[in-house]
Amino acid sequence: MKGIAIEGAGTLLTGASSGIGRATALELARRGARLAVLARRRELLESLADEMVASGCNRPALVVADLSVRGVAHDVAARAREALGDVDILVNNAGGGVGGAIWAVGDADAGREAFEVNYWSPLALVEEFLPEMRARGRGAVVNVTSLAQVTAWPGFGAYAATKAAFALATRTLRTEAHGSGVHVIEVIPGAVDTPVQGETRLLPGIERMLDLGRLGDPAVLAASIADAVERGRSRVVYPGRGRFVMSLPGIARRYTHRLAVRSGAHDAELLGSVVRSGSMGDPMARNAREAWERARAR
């Protein structure tokens, strides 16, 4: 399918304050997008906007919102239209998570919030913008899922379920949008060097899986996302070794299961705790993220 030009395109990008989202915002700005960037922390959005201006790019519109709250996405859409007019590119990157065994998380608020951020809010934004894109006969929807949709780890299952659901919805949406001029892209990150690595490594033994290869570079992934939009690609898997996991999920699941059992990850006491992850999650997760950032800054 033919892609669309980023230069001049009205673009809403969620989860722009750090990691993959921040890198993608900078890449899209360099390619001339008219950006509205969303996150929960204004000070980080201001810092991002200042960096864009300092590098010669246009200042983006800032949208401060918490997508873990039901209904917020519709207000976000109104603010994006006010800032951009038509939204030609929607990048659903914002993510949140929850750690803990499936039996511990159950249907707790933390688990429901993770689904709100990772599934319901992105679909609400799709509901807002995709019909308009179809009417214009052009547009792109970029949904960031995760390699966790295939290979969950003990204590990681509730988060993985949100991403698996979002991945299936994205693939279905691509088929539904076929022939409409709307390009649907699934971005599937594996282990990428972002602050989320700090909190993920709180799970016992998971570093044995994460450290099977070098961590990916968020700037490289951001460039691949932008290329996919412009060249009409339907999927980005990064780092590249993740393509094996996506191609042979059954083998990947069996390997992950054996690795987890051998490492004793299923017996860890930490699995009985429920931890909200993310930059505005529980103190344990925030401290782990900050420690990772400090170590990387040295």
Residue 227 has pLDDT above 90, yes or no: yes
Q: Provide the 10 A C-beta neighbour count for residue 68.
A: 23
Residue 14 confidence (pLDDT) above 90: yes
What's residue 216's pLDDT? Answer: 94
Tell me what the mean pLDDT of segment 91-108 comes to: 93
Residue 275 forms part of a structural domain? yes
Q: Tell whether the model's pLDDT for residue 232 goes beyond 90.
A: yes
CB 27 within 8 A of CB 33: no
Q: Is residue 16 part of a domain?
A: yes
According to the model, what pLDDT value does residue 281 have? 82
Residue 203 to residue 125: CA distance in whole angstroms: 32
Is the model's pLDDT at 67 over the cut of 80? yes
- The yes-or-no verdict on residue 208 having pLDDT over 90 is no
Query: Is residue 263, in this structure, part of any structural domain at all?
Result: yes
Residue burial 32-45, b: 16+ Cβ < 10 Å; e: rest: ebbbbbbbbeeebb
pLDDT exceeds 70 at position 1:
no
Cis peptide before 189 (omega within 30 of 0): no
pLDDT of residue 136: 97
Q: Which two tokens mark 228? A: 């996919």
pLDDT at site 276: 85
Mean pLDDT of 29-45: 97
Residue 287 has pLDDT above 90, yes or no: no
Domain containing residue 53: CATH number:
3.40.50.720
Active site residue ranges: 159
Contact of 84 with 132, CB cutoff 8 Å: no
Give the rounded percent of residues in the chain with a pLDDT score beyond 70.
99
Question: Does the pLDDT value for residue 280 go beyond 80?
Answer: no
Q: Is the pLDDT of residue 18 over 80?
A: yes
What pairs with residue 1 in β-bridges?
A: none
Pairwise CA distance, residues 172 & 157, whole Å: 22
| Exposure string over 246-277, b if 16+ CB within 10 A, otherwise e | beeeeebeeebeebbeebebeebebbebbbbb
Residue 107: how many other CB atoms lie within 10 Å: 9
Three-state DSSP state, 115: helix
**Average pLDDT taken over every residue of the chain:** 93
Number of independent structural domains in the chain: 1
3 part of a folded domain: no
Closest CA to 197 of 150, 247, 146: 146
pTM summary value: 0.94
Among the ranges given (23-32, 224-233, 263-272), the one the predictor scored with the smallest mean pLDDT:
263-272
Q: Which structure tokens are listed for 110?
A: 């933390």
Residue 134 lies in a domain: yes
Question: Does residue 144 belong to any structural domain of this protein?
Answer: yes
Q: What is d(CA 298, CA 295) in angstroms, rounded to the nearest whole number?
A: 6
Q: What is the spatial distance between Cα 126 and Cα 229, in angstroms, rounded to a whole number?
A: 16
Domain-located, residue 142: yes
Check residue 298 and give its pLDDT.
Answer: 63
Question: What are the DSSP calls for 73-103, one per residue?
Answer: HHHHHHHHHHHHSS--EEEE-----EES-HH
Q: 160-206 pLDDT, tens per residue?
A: 999 999 999 999 999 999 999 999 999 999 999 998 888 888 888 88
Domain that holds residue 147: 10-297
Q: Is 5 within a domain? A: no
Rounded distance, CA 79 to CA 158, Å?
31
Query: Average pLDDT of 230-251?
Result: 95
Q: Which residue has the higher pLDDT, 168 or 275?
A: 168
CA dihedral for 23, 26, 28, 34, sign (positive or negative): positive
Residue 163's pLDDT is: 97
DSSP per-residue letters across 218-234: HHHHHHHHHHHHHHT-S
**What's the whole-number mean pLDDT along residues 64-89?**
97
Comparing 145 with 101, the larger pLDDT belongs to 145
83 falls in which pLDDT band (50, 70, 90)?
very high
